[in-house]
Chain A
Amino acid sequence: MQRIGVFVCWCGSNIAGTVDVEAVAEALSHEPGVVHAANYQYMCSEAGQNLIKDAIREHNLTGIVVCSCSPRMHEATFRKTAAAAGLNPYMVEIANIREQCSWIHKDKATGTEKAIILGRAAIAKVTLNAPLIAGESPVTKRALVIGGGIAGIQTALDIAEAGFEVDIVEKQPTIGGKMTQIDKTFPTLDCAACILTPKMVDCAQNEKIDILSYSEVTDVKGFVGNFHVKIKKKARYVDETKCTGCGLCTEKCPVKAVPNEFNLGMDNRRAVYIPFAQAVPKVATIDPNHCNMLKNGKCGLCAKLCTAGAIDYKQQDEIIEREYGAIVVATGYNPIKLDNYDEFAYSQSPDVVTSLEFERLTNAAGPTNGTLLRPSDGKHPHTIVFVQCVGSRDTSGCGKEYCSKICCMYTAKHAMLTREKYPDTDVYVFYIDVRTPGKNFDEFYRRAVEEYGVHYIKGMVGKVAPQSDGKLMVQASDLISNEQLHIEADMVVLAAAIEPDKSARPLATMLTASMDTNDFFTEAHPKLRPVESPTAGIFLSGACQGPKDIPETVSQASAAAAKVIGLLAKDKLTCNPCVAHSDELMCNGCSSCEKVCPYGAITYLDKEFRMPNRTTAIRRVASVNEAVCQGCGACTVACPSGAMDLKGFSNSQIMAEVDAICKMK
């Protein structure tokens, strides 16, 4: 039989104002098993806690019920109090008579009656509590960062700085991500490459960082502190350890007409290539879809030319297996495809470009060496129309329902830089709303208007019609002057919405990390745990969690690193003991629990059981990995045989609570 103590808190007048605390303590003192009941002004204060400790010792209590505020507030406090007095911390139950009672009732009689019922439920539950002991699991002191853009780079550098080893897995031949393609960064207009490439080099030179470029994660097993990951290192047909990055092969390769991904297909590269001059690692990669030697065995020129002997046509994909304590997702974003927006004539005219393409057209390392020229005829454009929100804030099903966040600022940047370099150019920006809520952001946008004379027009472009003279007829509305405009433009730039990288969805499945309907990773708490996935040990960095500009991405990347460092600094992890447990004798091996588990905590194993008449039988039974289980309880609901139960929240305990609430007195 349990010996239960009940402690009713006044919370000043928060509870005592609407609940007769003395009456509650008096009523609960007559419940079966209750040997002690007290009330106090502030139970969470030191004096209040001492009251509990003394009572535990004096009355030999085996369980306590604290009638106070929400367990979110002080459950941990009272568990520590109990532990200090020698009671198992999981023999503590909280009856929430503040948020769920005193704060929402006005009438004292009603409040008191409800508080007594809530207290009774907690007593019924604690009667069935069993002491729980939290387990421990070791931590592998190495982190994996998936994605080598600015987010992944910053996270890796910060983790390495703290002295932990970290691997970056990047699917492209080089790290750097989208930022390598950007010309200048708002709002200060410093050159993207000038601030990014030193960080890329830092990654390459840091002893703690291992860059696995041209690689993809193919399998993730394990749990927080103990992930086991398989990484496919794709064959690049060049020995990374031998290649010096001299670039001779990339100049002499006879296959010249391969669309260059780095310049978004606006110029060509060879079949063997280094994406750009500052690539890290600076190693050539052979594109097997275009290399003559790999396709039909006829060529081999690069192997003959390479003085380092790095070319290896026989190279195979390689699977690397490694152990990690923490995984950071930094898979980034891409602009959406514009197939659903025929009205903007993107597929009809080469002079209608996306903003990222415009970025390359103004970049010194781009296809036009930084001189802004129309893709169709190589002439200077004199009228440029920028269209914002192309596919963003679109609930019609053609685009994305969210605001892509970065477009207002980069469009202001493009418009401003165009006017600065080419003052003879008329620049129009069509906007629905200008959203510039960052540090020095609105000032930047206003400068584009006031100092650089960019024409900002409130309204949307309805259609873009290519004309026989090569001009683009832009039909748009100007909502403030209430007229329909017809502008003859030389170029149209579309601020395409951004979406998470396509690799994110399969990766989320591998990691059992949750995503929203737009395929952005969800955070554990939108305000208070923004860089952690609800799945323990998985952290989020950059635009994989939501649209972000560079300053925000870098802050979040460092925040994710801090969380990883906090995890890796521990030698052992204390597990939450309120986790699922399967009764093997009742389990029928149906796999229902495994299917609903959002954390991948349940596995099945074949186990030998003793049967009647000294026989044995092999049965398939569920087994819960307590380090992975988060105690959500989905499996206990799914289990048809009643084998699965949640420690600390067992079915019998919940039913006892319900019975206590429903019991008429």
Chain B
Amino acid sequence: MGKFDREQILRTSGVDVLKCMRCGKCSATCPSYDEMEYHPHEFVYMVEKGETEKLMNSPSIYKCLSCFACVERCPRGVEPAKVVAAVRAQVLRQPGECRLSPDDIPALLDDDLPQQALVTAFRKYRK
């Protein structure tokens, strides 16, 4: 399972974790550092090692502010925030964890709701 998750996370994030040279500037720059069990550099390293389960079970995935400071300052262009987002997506998209049924849609529709929001919600929560 870990291997499958790893591949999925790498694919969704589009990040090449092997580019990381372990400088830790992502974690040095992270404003949520103290809130997190696993820090940005650990996300990159643990995905590389295939330890995705620990990450997926950790509340750290909801602590990332997506401020992209780590992406901005990484000297190797690794983009750790995208890895965090991909791990989060992997949790949300587990099979059987369906949070939106097509039957619910008519009730949700109103004039103010952009259709794009529905499409996005489907993409995120339907599996």
A residues engaging B (CB < 8 A)?
Answer: 343, 389, 393-399, 432, 458-463, 475-479, 482, 484
Contacts and interface: CB of A to CB of B under 8 A. Distances in A.
B interface secondary structure, majority: helix
B28 to A, nearest CB: 3
B34 A460 contact: no
12 contacts: A343-B73, A389-B75, A395-B77, A396-B74, A396-B75, A397-B77, A462-B73, A475-B28, A477-B25, A479-B22, A484-B30, A484-B39
B49 interface: no
Nearest to B77: A396
Interface in B34-80: 34, 39, 41-42, 69, 73-77
Nearest to A399: B75
A396 B27 contact: no
B39 A482 contact: yes
A452 B48 CA distance: 38
Given A399-B75, A484-B33, A389 B23 contact: yes
Contact of A395 (B19, B29, B41, B42): B19
Chain A CB within 10 Å, residue with most, of B28, B30, B33: B28
A398 B29 contact: no
B21 to A, nearest CB: 6
Interface residues of B, number: 22
A343 B26 CA distance: 12
Contacts of B23: 389, 432, 459-460
Contacts of A396: 74-77
Across the A-B interface, the 6 shortest Cβ-Cβ residue pairs:
A462-B28, A462-B29, A460-B25, A477-B28, A477-B24, A394-B75
A292 B123 CA distance: 71
Contacts, number: 68
Given A460-B23, A479-B22, A482-B39, A398 B75 contact: yes
Contacts of B27: 459, 462, 477, 479, 484
Contact of B30 (A389, A393, A462, A478): A462
A484 B42 CA distance: 13
A479 B26 CA distance: 11
Chain A CB within 10 Å, residue with most, of B19, B23, B27, B34: B23
Given A396-B76, A458-B24, A484-B28, 11 more contacts: A398-B75, A432-B22, A460-B25, A462-B26, A462-B30, A462-B73, A475-B28, A477-B28, A477-B39, A479-B41, A484-B34
Contacts of A389: 23, 75
A542 B29 CA distance: 37
Nearest to B40: A477
B60 to A, nearest CB: 13
Given A484-B27, A484-B30, A484-B33, A477 B75 contact: no
Given A395-B19, A484-B30, A484-B33, A479 B75 contact: no
A394 B42 CA distance: 20
A378 B49 CA distance: 50
A458 B23 CA distance: 8
A393 B25 contact: no
Contacts of A475: 28-29
A457 to B, nearest CB: 10
Contacts of A458: 24
